[in-house]
Structure 1
Amino acid sequence: MSVTDLPKVELHLHIEGAAPPAFIRGLAQEKGVNLTGVFDEQGNYAFTDFWHFLKVYEAATEVLKTPEDFGRLTRAVLEESAANGVIYTEAFLSPDFCGGGDLGAWKEYLHAIEEAARAAEAADGIILKGIVTPVRHFGPEKAKKSALCAAETAGSFITGLGMGGDEKAGKPGDFAYAFDMAREAGLRLTCHAGEWGGPESVRQALDDLRVERIGHGVRAIEDPALVERLAEDGIVLEVCPGSNVALGLYKTWQDHPVERLREAGVKVTVSTDDPPFFHTTMNHEYDRLADTFGWDEGSFAEINLTAARAAFCDEETRAALIKRLEAAND
């Protein structure tokens, strides 16, 4: 068995960032939206660095204007994930892009996304859960609106809150109100940190937002005391190696610290982040990790069990996931 044949659990996927370029171009044609500057001559997303990537990402989302658009997007994304052996995925969903933070509109978008998720599960056996995601550089006040949307729709499908966007915009503590609101609604918490903000941003997310998972978190490797804390406290990192290399955080896969973090006892998982932007898939991530660090079936089995145990889902879903993973490794 190739490592790419293994069933996979993904915890860090942005629904808009997973949109195939052809899908976005097709919608733009239907709606007459000008996407000049979004694609290169080969039809791929075009950006120069992380901050330019954020602008291109937001420009591409301009074609996603209705609940139906997000339903179609969800179906396309889950079809691609399932083709890569993903059996469970958690997608970041932003009320800012789904109704502009209005609760009534958010519910309509969410209904369309959930319908598409049910169809994908019936067709391909893939399970989707949603993590509501305030966009950090949109500011704390908009984050409160997103958190309200999350709290009011918390349940079997919306299971968490996690913040994305520019890590250099403000401090995690600025968003504590939004995270407290989500916590009180019973939602699980994660936050992007330790990518562009450095190791201190990880510490701040843990101390000020009290999250149980960290999106990326890889720059914790620069602070041995922080690495020790992550290992001791069982904080799970949603690591996206291909994304980190594509954006220039690390020059090569060999430079990436995922193996050093794992050797230090930190719980790491593997995800794609915004796969078409970074020319990756879950299969590609697995191939590169196997080639670079010698990870074998046992390594990936451990990674996926870690992800299943850290997933923001109900215990019945978790037990079924673990059963599927263990059956594949017998």
Structure 2
Amino acid sequence: MPKAELHCHIEGAADTELVMQQAAIYGADMSPFIRDGAFVWHDFTSFLAAYDASASLFRTEEDYARLAEHYLASLAGQGAIYSEIFISPDHAMRSGLSPRAYLGGLAEGVRRAKAASGIEARMIVIGVRHFGAEAVEAAARFAADCDEPLVTGFGMAGEERHGNPRDYAHAFDIAREAGLGITVHAGELAGWESVAAALDHLRPARIGHGVRAVENPDLVRRIAGEGIVLECCPCSNVALQIFDGFENHPLPQLMVADCKVTLSSDDPPYFRTSIRREYEEARRHFGMDDTALGDITRTAIEAAFIDEKTRQALLARLSR
């Protein structure tokens, strides 16, 4: 089954084997965060602690090239033909690396992976919401001015309950004027109001997660009517206990309401998932057959932040 992923944080895509290799290089003790080959956390705060500890072990251009190449090679091995990865200049600076060096390393990894497997990939620069409006604007300017053709989108992640989307509107205007695709995390830890505010003030083409929109039927109708694409990550949602099981996950309801949905893995090793598992769980718990899963991939490619020539080439690969 050909697959496409629109929602994955590149630092969160580093599996435990790669993280332990990096820990050996830098002499770091990861025992509080990795046990028996798995990340250890029990709530959102401890998840972020494990995430940040692992992310801090990527410090050079070559570290990031290796990370991107490693993850995209894994995706290609699972049948993925397209990937978009979220990249964070703020994480780079906290590791002592300039945003341009960080971007250069990731771009090199993307190109290596394509040369080896044929997988297409693009990068979405994200601002971190809880770092404040000025930091998010700085990330938007970097995305707009970086002159890297593999950067095709801008978004915002971080603590969704911090601030109001209107505080970040200028950052999104900067990115939109530069021709970048727009996505934003909303409707994950916060409720339907977060999604509505993001649509009102930031005008995204896609919403990262967005599943809490199901709490408001009028909002669901708006999402369907405006053609907003939801980057759904069911395994992440269940692992973080946003929903207490796949049987209570609203993805089937959103599909019945004619919302456009896709499947992604978010931070795959932390949630013991992968793009393959996301498709498998959709088959197992949501009753999707090959045709429905193929439609999920098609939706992702049609919503991807890519040029039309590449889009048509990917759709042709999907058809084959």
What TM-score bracket applies, with the shorter chain setting the length? Answer: over 0.9
Q: Which residue of structure 1 aligns with residue 12 of structure 2? A: 17
Separation in 2, partners of 1:65, 1:282 = 26
TM superposition shift of 1:34: 3.0
Report what 1:69 is aligned to.
Answer: 63
Aligned to 2:136: 143
> Normalising to structure 1: TM-score of the pair?
0.94
User: What's the offset of the Cα at 1:36?
Assistant: 4.3
Q: Quote the Cα distance in structure 2 between the aligned partners of 1:161 and 1:154.
A: 14
In the alignment, the residues of structure 1 paired with residue 169 and residue 211 of structure 2 have an alpha-carbon distance, to the nearest angstrom, of 23
Q: Tell me the distance in 1 between the aligned counterparts of 2:124 and 2:55.
A: 18
Cα displacement string for residues 177-222 of structure 1 (whole angstroms, at most 9, x for unaligned residues): 2111111111110000000111110011111111110000001001
> Is the 1:305–1:322 contact (alpha carbons within 8 Å) kept by the matching residues of 2?
yes
> Which residue, 24, 29, 33 being the options, matches 1:34?
29
1:101–1:146 Cα contact (<8 Å) kept: no
Deviation of 1:294 after TM superposition, in Å, equals 1.3
Backbone CA RMSD of aligned residues: 1.5
Deviations 1:158-185 (A, max 9, x none): 0000111111111222111211111111
Give the length in aligned residue pairs: 320
Question: Deviations along 1:127-159, whole A, 9 cap, x unmatched?
Answer: 110000111122222112211110112553100
- The 5 A counterparts of 1:237-276 are 237-276=230-269
Residue 236 (structure 1) aligned with residue 234 (structure 2): no
Q: Could you tell me how far apart the structure 1 residues matched to 2:40 and 2:147 are?
A: 35
Q: What is the CA distance between 1:51 and its match in structure 2?
A: 2.8
In the TM superposition, what is the alpha-carbon distance from 1:92 to its structure 2 partner?
0.1
Show the counterpart of 1:88: 82
Taking only the aligned residue pairs, the percentage that are identical comes to: 46
Q: How far apart are the structure 2 equivalents of 1:45 and 1:60?
A: 10
Q: Matches of 1:150 and 1:226 in 2, distance apart?
A: 30
Structure 1 runs of 4+ aligned residues shifted over 4 Å read none
Q: For residue 49 of structure 1, report the CA deviation from its aligned partner.
A: 1.4
Preserved CA contact (<8 Å) 1:154 1:185:
no
For residue 181 of structure 2, the aligned residue among 188, 191, 202 is 188
- Residue-by-residue CA offset, 1:216-263 (whole Å, 9 max, x unaligned): 000100100000000000000000001001111111111110011001
- The question of 1:283 aligning with 2:276 is answered yes
Aligned to 2:92, the other structure's residue is in SS state coil
Tell me if structure 2 keeps the 8 A contact 1:154–1:186: no
What is the aligned partner in structure 1 of residue 193 from structure 2? 200
Q: Pick from 214, 218, 221 the counterpart of residue 211 of structure 2.
A: 218
| Structure 2, unaligned runs of 5 or more | none
Q: Which residue of 1 aligns with 2:108?
A: 115
> Aligned match of 2:159 in 166, 182, 201?
166
Amino acid at match of 2:108: E
User: Helix, strand or coil: the match of 1:14?
Assistant: coil
TM superposition shift of 1:323: 0.7
Q: Displacement of 1:97 after TM fit?
A: 1.5
Confirm or deny: 8 A CA contact 2:59 2:95 kept in the other structure: no
Deviation at 1:99, TM superposition (A): 3.3
Give 2:223's aligned amino acid: L
Aligned to 1:3: none
* Equivalent pair of 2:187/2:209 in contact (CA under 8 Å): yes
Partner of 2:2: 7
Looking at structure 1, the residues matched to 157 and 61 of structure 2 have their Cα atoms a distance apart, in angstroms, of: 22
- Pair 1:38–1:88, CA change in 2 (3 A): same
Aligned in 2, Cα 1:42/1:100: closer, same or farther, shift over 3 Å? Answer: closer
CA drift of 1:266 comes to: 0.3
